[in-house]
Amino acid sequence: MKIDLHCHTFFSKDGTSSLESIIKEGKRKGINGVAITDHDNTNAWEEAVFWGKKLDFEIILGEEITTSEGDILGLFMTKNIDGKGKSARYAIEQIKEQNGLAFFAHPFHMLEGFKKPLEGYMDIIDGIEVYNGRRPLDRGDKLADRFADEQKLIKIGGSDSHYFKTVGNVYTECEANNLVEFRDQLSKKQSVVCGKKAPLRYIVFPLLKISGLLRRSI
């Protein structure tokens, strides 16, 4: 199975796209599913489940949680976590209480990297995003991949899509027939990350959303 493990909808402050357009683009790209990981909210979950069933596309419920130290990506979650102003450890613990998996999101990338040494979380973190399709430079990805090898962490990748045309540009692949098997293989570190960076021209859409010039989903 090929799943894009980092996708944002119009419910993110800088997301532009509807669930329908995200899923249709994912199917067009030939992936099997996406993780819906909006910034600090789970408002898209119900609609995501609806469109996933309607269009026969796998949906992993997640969230990109803003903490005082950096962003944590939660996957296979069951409820929202409010991490603003709180520690990364708090967010990770809350994810684990839901039987979810917790990952560092783009920890080595400029501007949005992690503020503390990652080694301090090895007792509780599950893995790390080793390829982020939205950030144009690959230095941060290479550092993350090396760190994952050193610490024996789960490796994941995602498009970090904020505009539907970039969905599926990066995906995580596991030998699986369903999400239960996918998670099991992921947990066993049997994942392969594939993909490419998004064209720089697509950065304009999140900027339009933030500026208020884009008021409806695409």
pLDDT in tens, 21-55: 999 999 999 999 999 999 999 999 999 999 999 99
CA 168 to chain centre: 12
Mean pLDDT of the region 3-30 = 98
Q: Report yes or no on whether pTM surpasses 0.85.
A: yes
**Cβ neighbours of 123 (radius 10 Å):** 7
Return the domain boundaries, the chain.
Answer: 2-211
Give the integer Cα–Cα distance in Å for 179 and 183: 6
The token duo for 195 is: 């993909």
CATH class of 2-211: alpha beta
- Say whether pLDDT at 111 is over 90: no
Which run of H or E residues covers position 184? helix 179-187
pLDDT band for position 110 (50/70/90)? confident
